[in-house]
Amino acid sequence: MKLLRNTLLETFVTVVECGGFTDAQYALGITQSAISIRIRDLETALGYRICERGRGGFRLTERGEIAYRKAGDILRSARDFDAELLELRGTTTGDLRIGTIDAVNTLAELNLAQVLKRFLDRPNEVQLEVVVASPTELTQKLITGDLHVAIAPFRNQVPELTYTELCQEEHRLYCGQDHPLFDLPDDQIDLDVISQHQICQRSYNILVSPVLQTAQPKATVANMEAMAMMIETGHFLGPLPVHFIKNWAHRDRLRELAPDKLNWNSTFYLATRPSLAQRRAVEILVQDIVKSCKRGQES
């Protein structure tokens, strides 16, 4: 049910996402002619062409590009508006857009999958959407309203958002089985030896180089699996979360290096925009997450 329905804008956005009228038919549940008319009407209202279409392919015009972005924004806030008003009725409804960094599913203390399961088990009409991005992107998306909640090790906390501490994540340094250090006995491995080797750096979160005082890292990755793969090549050392290794298929092909000397902790936070915390759906999910984390730490 839609309070703030706007057929023209919704059509436009769907058409862009489907890459043309023909496919959008099925997404919108109307015929291609209806779409054609709606887009024409929108263009008439705007006074300029928003997209080129036809046999040559579908393409947004320059202005159409801007219009598309703005339309997406306003439709998102319209959906939130709907949800807010409908929740006054007593039901839990609307979109719930959650963001995390990658590889959170193996964080035992949090157990996000379990939390989501519990949330979905409750009677509600909420539509979940999960986005994976870097902490910086998550922060941005929270502020613009793209996301309702996000979970990540937020190092730079901004005043617009509220943060709740969730749990710790321990990182250690690893090498692959083809790496020269793989077969070296423990007593021959110290920081000096380690610092002779190339490090693969994650583009956010743990910074290894300062501790080891190695040169600029030759490789940078923005994803945990990518990091694991780079390490598996045997060319790089790299930090990985302990919980991640436990679930990594080839964990026997990786070796921890000086775990007692080299380990880093990052704190995971749950972030929300205070104004959105009013939404019942958001409220419930946040409580679920926090509760799950407390339980995770006790056990």
The residues binding a copy of itself (CB under 8 A) are 1, 3-6, 8-9, 42, 45-48, 63, 66-67, 70-71, 73-74, 77-78, 81, 84-86, 88-89, 91
Best CA proximity match to 199, nearest among 255, 241, 239: 239
What sign does the dihedral 157-162-165-171 (CA atoms) show? negative
* 204, 260 contact by CB (below 8 A): no
Q: Does residue 199 sit in helix, strand or coil?
A: strand
Total number of residues binding DNA (CB under 7 A)?
21
Residue 187, contacted partner among a copy of itself, DNA, none, CB below 5-8 A by kind: none
Stretch that binds DNA, among 37-45, 98-106, 167-175, 250-258 (CB under 7 A): 37-45
Question: Taking CB under 7 A as the rule, does residue 39 contact DNA?
Answer: yes
Question: Which tokens is 101 given?
Answer: 């960094």
Place of tokens 């963001």: 99
Instruction: Name 169's Cβ contacts closer than 8 Å, sequence gap at least 6.
Output: 107, 153, 241, 242, 243, 265, 266, 267, 268
In the DSSP assignment, the letter for residue 15 is H
Q: Which is nearer to a copy of itself, 9 or 115 (CB)?
A: 9
Residue number, 77 or 247, with CB nearest to a copy of itself = 77
Please say which residue, 20 or 296, places its beta carbon nearer to DNA.
20
Q: Which residues pair with 149 in a beta bridge?
A: 98, 272
Closer CB to DNA, 34 or 143, in the complex: 34
Binding at 74: pick from DNA, a copy of itself, none (beta carbon under 5-8 Å per type) = a copy of itself
Query: Which residue, among 153, 165, 188, has the nearest Cα to 264 in the 3D structure?
Result: 153
The option from a copy of itself, DNA, none interacting with 299 (CB < 5 to 8 A, set by class) reads none
CA-closest candidate to residue 53, choices 91, 73, 24: 24
Nearer to DNA by Cβ, of 55 and 89: the residue is: 55
Other Cβ atoms within 10 Å of 55 Cβ, number: 4
Q: What's the closest the beta carbon of residue 52 comes to DNA, in angstroms?
A: 9
Which of 6, 10, 14, 30 touches DNA by CB under 7 A?
A: 30
**C-beta of residue 103 within 8 angstroms of C-beta of residue 241:** yes
Contact with DNA (CB under 7 A): which of 2, 3, 40, 186?
40
CA–CA separation, 84 and 76 (whole Å): 12
- Which of 25-33, 75-83, 149-157, 291-299 is the region at the interface with DNA (rule: CB under 7 A)? 25-33
Task: Tell me: does residue 37 bind DNA (CB under 7 A).
Answer: yes
Residue 49 or 235 with smaller CB distance to DNA? 49
> Per rule CB under 7 A, is residue 6 in the interface with DNA?
no
* Candidate residues 2, 4, 31, 196; the one interacting with DNA per rule CB under 7 A: 31
CA atoms of 235 and 232, how far apart (whole Å): 8
User: Contact residues for DNA (CB under 7 A)?
Assistant: 7, 20-22, 29-34, 36-41, 53-56, 58
